[in-house]
Structure 1
Amino acid sequence: MMIDWSRERILILAPHPDDETLGCGGLMRKAKEAGAEVYIQFMTVGDTADNSARGLSTADERYGEVKAVADFFDWDGWDFAFPGDRYHLKLDAVPRFELTNAIERHSPLSIETLRPTTVIAPHRTSYNQDHQVTAEAVHTALRPSNTRLRHHPRLVLAYEEAADQWRYDAAPSPNFFVELTEEQVEAKIEAMHLYGSQTHDHPHTRSDLTLRSLAVLRGMHSSVPYAEAYHMMRWLA
């Protein structure tokens, strides 16, 4: 199955800044090189305790990182649906109705407004609660219905992150692979460096070696040098 990425309008749902790059960094570079439109709907951001020397990354710092990554990938638009400490790492306390409505129709980058051809979201089996509820809300927002009344993207994918495997019921083997060049893999890693508050040395799930190794592994699984892997939820040919 070949996709002409130049014809795609891609909407990526990211629970937090960096998830879109960890899961789709190679695809974003490949698609933009082909001429696609790429939009990022972030769900939330806030001050975050971390393992850095300072012990904290601030929301303002994260916004600055997003702007740098947006310029790097040349995104066509990005937005935060639920910004602030009230929501950050607490999306599981927000009613599914509110999350789904933001994704479906109330956000500036909603499915109703943007009418994307491709939607990519986190996988439900992530250990992170914000990832889980984002995945479930996207699943609800993209429910089957009358196509004359609601927009239905042709392609719906769930992206993976190395950390998602930290579950006894981790996601099954992926069934959709996007071939990447070495330059596209390196672009993904370079973009993660722009998320300076979130990058770590190896061994860590967000280290350079982890990202490069996962691209090599998924490439081997699909008989190419490098790839990103996804779980396909819908494909309308």
Structure 2
Amino acid sequence: MLELGKERILIIAPHADDEVLGCGGLIEKARKHGNEVKVLIGSVGDILFRHNEHGIVDAATRRKELNNALTHLDCKDFEILFEHKESAMDTIPKNQIVSKLDRIMDTFSPTMVFIPYPSYHQDHQVLFQASIASLRPDSRRKLKIIAMYEYPLIVWQYPKIHDVGELYLDITGAIEKKIEAFCKHTSQIRTGEHPLAPEKIKKWAETRGMEIGVPYAEKYHLLRAMLI
């Protein structure tokens, strides 16, 4: 489907870096074949990272890293939904989040939507719930695929979702570009055995690839698919 160059793909991510962690290979392959890709980031703001030697990373740095990462993947269409609400999206009335998503669904008219698997983080949970509300059945929308993407910290799942389908994407030819794009999020890089260390992100993709018999893959949890 991606090779046809006719898809309009919407990726909804809570934070800057989640888009690459979950869908970096998808973005690279989709753009390579001429498909439209739009990335929505829930919020970017000043935030304290204990792993970062400078402590607080400001919103301007986060936006610059996001732009650099997506530019590396040839994705120029991105939007930040709320300023200065990072790690505090649970303080935003849910109807405001859904209204913004509805507007973008109507104007961008995606054929595929990828939303975050809800983890322990409150922003992931809030954006997942708002996405589900916005993706309610609507005869005006012709969505081929609605799926949840995962990221390495899904190993601490809350809650674990059952009764969903499995969707894999072979990213063997895109794995290096995915890792390079993640490394553009300089403030997010961890080292050693942390799941967000670049070598561990690559290992995660290798594990998913092993499940389908390819060197590297991304796994998506399928919520709905429609053949057209």
TMscore range, shorter length: over 0.9
Contact 1:175 1:232 in 2 (8 A): yes
Distance 1:5 1:79 in 2: 25
How far does the alpha carbon of each residue in 1:112-157 deviate from its partner, in whole angstroms, 9 at most, with x for none?
0000111111012x11110111011111101113x1xx32422111
Structural RMSD (CA): 1.6
Which residue of the partner structure matches residue 113 of structure 1? Answer: 107
Which residue of the partner structure matches residue 134 of structure 2? Answer: 141
Q: How does 1:151-230 map to 2 (within 5 A)?
A: 151-167=141-157, 169-172=159-162, 175-181=166-172, 183-230=173-220
Structure 1 consecutive aligned stretches of length 4 or more whose deviation exceeds 6 Å: none
- What is the aligned-residue identity percentage? 34
Shift of 1:167: 3.2
Letter in 2 for 1:62: R
With structure 2 as the length reference, what TM-score do the two structures score? 0.93
Shift of 1:169: 3.9
Letter in 2 for 1:141: S
Shift of 1:35: 1.2
Shift of 1:174: 6.2
Contact 2:44 2:86 in 1 (8 A): yes
Structure 1: which 5+ runs fail to align? Answer: none
Which residue of the partner structure matches residue 40 of structure 1? Answer: 39
Indicate the larger mover: 186-195 or 163-172.
Answer: 163-172
Contact 1:11 1:118 in 2 (8 A): yes
How many residues end up aligned between the 2 structures? Answer: 225
Distance 2:221 2:5 in 1: 22
Shift of 1:44: 0.3
Indicate the larger mover: 192-201 or 161-170.
Answer: 161-170
Structure 2: which 5+ runs fail to align? Answer: none
Distance 1:136 1:188 in 2: 27
Distance 1:76 1:68 in 2: 10
How far does the alpha carbon of each residue in 1:84-126 deviate from its partner, in whole angstroms, 9 at most, with x for none?
1xx2211112122111111111xxxx000000111111012x1
Contact 1:100 1:140 in 2 (8 A): yes
Change in CA separation of 1:57 and 1:68 when aligned onto 2, cut-off 3 Å = same
Distance 1:138 1:5 in 2: 26
Which residue of the partner structure matches residue 62 of structure 1? Answer: 62
